[in-house]
């Protein structure tokens, strides 16, 4: 019997963003007969359904904050101690696990440089956000160049344009492309839209405008509120549903309150029923200021919704005729007008290459890539 390959994924933690979702799916779907998987995180996210799901499936997840006595303490001294402990603990676990493949997600290259893994380790690095943003992180760029020079290194992009950008930025010519995928089967299950709306207290007569994403500046929820305010001036029958968590959540709640929109809106966090929330909605909005890919735009289309995305969202997210890319600069009023008009049209969804976004296919692609690099390293 062949020995299992030791795979170590490292990520900040299991907040419910796109990178965290893909790591969660890799962890639960990688072939356990071939791969001995561990996920290393440095933070807990209270109430994260992903943490519970991975625990229930007996996935080996190490949260190094559990081994930091001052992790929850405030103050300058505690912050300094925690900072150095994080580096030391990440190095400790990387050397203890001694993975065949170390797979990095999000900007964690400095930790890897400090850890200085075994020279036989193969390093995978998935770039989850726009290359232009990565290049602003000088220490991360320096760390990536160090890894390229010292290790057998595989960089993964989320789409072809990102692949080209990364190859130009780092002077390499072998960046791989693996799409972020979704569990398409979840969107095919028998579903009672009326029952879901009753559960949430949303009238069947309302037209629901939905957004999925972290509450952070780059997701542009302030603009969404402006668009919704303009929609309500033209059509009283709309309801806004925002799904996500993050540092700007309270700020957006206060903004909705200040505009008198609380009775016609709802914020939901830490949900495991995103496919149902999308399928009970009528139209989706995704006006990000920057995206590596924007997996939520894929989910929205698979749910059958008309989607209004910004031109900052890569066109690779077009998997149907249901998505339009609009410039933020045309203004919230124009966005509102086009969203209202979209629900007055009968537009049957036509999908393009939807299997390319099936998470099970993407995981098999990653497994083949792992095995290819291991075999080349022998």
| Residue 122, Cβ density class (10 Å: 0-12 exposed, 13-18 middle, ≥19 buried) | buried
Tally the domains of the chain.
2
Same domain, 198 and 76: no
Question: pTM of the full predicted structure?
Answer: 0.86
- What average pLDDT does range 191-211 have in this prediction? 94
Q: Which domain does 148 fall in, by range? A: 5-181+358-376
Give the pLDDT confidence score for residue 156 in this predicted structure.
Answer: 97
Same domain, 177 and 203: no
Start-to-end C-alpha separation, the chain: 18
Q: Does residue 1 carry a pLDDT above 60?
A: no
Instruction: Provide φ and ψ at 276, rounded to 5°.
Output: -70, -40
Q: Does residue 162 carry a pLDDT above 60?
A: yes
| Residue 272, Cβ density class (10 Å: 0-12 exposed, 13-18 middle, ≥19 buried) | exposed
Element (H, E) at 284: strand 283-286
Which of the pair, 334 or 66, is modelled with greater confidence? Answer: 334
Q: Does residue 168 carry a pLDDT above 90?
A: yes
Same domain, 287 and 195: yes
Same domain, 45 and 177: yes
pLDDT digits (tens, 9 = 90+) for 2-23: 789 999 999 999 887 888 989 9
Same domain, 96 and 10: yes
pLDDT digits (tens, 9 = 90+) for 347-372: 788 898 888 889 999 999 999 999 99
Q: Does residue 177 carry a pLDDT above 80?
A: yes
Same domain, 192 and 337: yes
CA distance 39 to 372: 21
Q: Within 30-100, where are the H helices? A: 49-56, 76-97
| Residue 47, Cβ density class (10 Å: 0-12 exposed, 13-18 middle, ≥19 buried) | exposed
CA distance 211 to 196: 17
Give the pLDDT confidence score for residue 365 in this predicted structure.
Answer: 95
Instruction: Provide φ and ψ at 114, rounded to 5°.
Output: -65, -40
285 strand-pairing partners: 308
Same domain, 194 and 128: no
Give the pLDDT confidence score for residue 47 in this predicted structure.
Answer: 74
What pLDDT band is residue 174 in, cutting at 50, 70 and 90?
Answer: very high
CATH number of the domain to which 204 belongs:
3.40.50.2000
pLDDT digits (tens, 9 = 90+) for 118-157: 999 999 999 998 899 999 999 999 999 999 999 999 999 9
pLDDT digits (tens, 9 = 90+) for 262-297: 999 999 998 889 999 999 999 999 999 999 888 999
3-state secondary structure of 367: helix
Tally Cβ neighbours within 10 Å of residue 374.
Answer: 14
């Amino acid at each position: 019997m062949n020995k299992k390959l030791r795979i170590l994924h490292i990520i900040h933690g299991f907040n419910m963003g796109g990178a965290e979702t893909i790591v969660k799916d890799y962890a639960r779907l990688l072939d356990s007969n071939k791969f001995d998987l561990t996920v290393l995180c440095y933070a807990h996210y209270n109430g994260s359904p992903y943490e519970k799901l991975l625990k229930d499936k007996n996935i080996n997840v190490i949260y190094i904050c559990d081994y930091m006595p001052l992790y929850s303490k405030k103050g300058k001294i505690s912050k300094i101690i925690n900072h150095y402990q994080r580096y030391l603990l990440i190095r400790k676990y990387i050397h203890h696990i001694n993975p065949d493949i170390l797979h990095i997600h999000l900007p964690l290259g400095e930790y890897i440089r400090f850890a200085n893994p075994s020279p036989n380790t193969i390093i995978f690095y998935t770039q989850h956000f726009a290359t232009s943003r990565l290049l602003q992180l000088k220490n991360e760029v320096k760390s990536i160049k160090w890894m390229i020079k010292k290790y057998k290194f595989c960089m993964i992009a989320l789409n072809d344009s990102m692949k080209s950008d990364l190859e130009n930025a780092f002077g390499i010519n072998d960046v791989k492309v693996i799409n972020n995928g979704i569990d398409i089967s979840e969107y095919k299950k028998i579903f009672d839209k009326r029952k879901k709306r009753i559960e949430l207290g949303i009238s069947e007569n309302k037209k629901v405008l939905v957004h999925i994403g972290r509450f952070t500046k780059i997701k542009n929820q302030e603009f969404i509120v402006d668009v919704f305010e303009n929609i309500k001036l033209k059509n009283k029958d709309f309801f806004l549903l925002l799904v996500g968590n993050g540092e700007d959540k309270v700020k957006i709640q206060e903004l909705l309150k200040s505009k008198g929109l609380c009775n016609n809106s709802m914020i939901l966090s830490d949900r495991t029923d995103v496919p149902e929330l999308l399928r009970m909605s009528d139209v989706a909005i995704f006006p990000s200021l920057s995206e590596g890919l924007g997996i939520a735009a894929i989910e929205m289309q698979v749910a059958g919704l008309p989607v209004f995305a910004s031109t900052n969202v890569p066109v690779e997210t077009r998997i149907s005729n249901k998505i339009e890319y609009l410039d933020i600069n045309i203004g919230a009023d124009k966005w509102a007008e086009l969203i209202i008009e979209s629900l007055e049209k009968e537009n049957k969804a036509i999908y393009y290459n939807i299997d390319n976004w099936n998470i099970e296919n993407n995981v098999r692609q990653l497994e083949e890539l792992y095995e290819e690099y291991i075999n080349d390293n022998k």
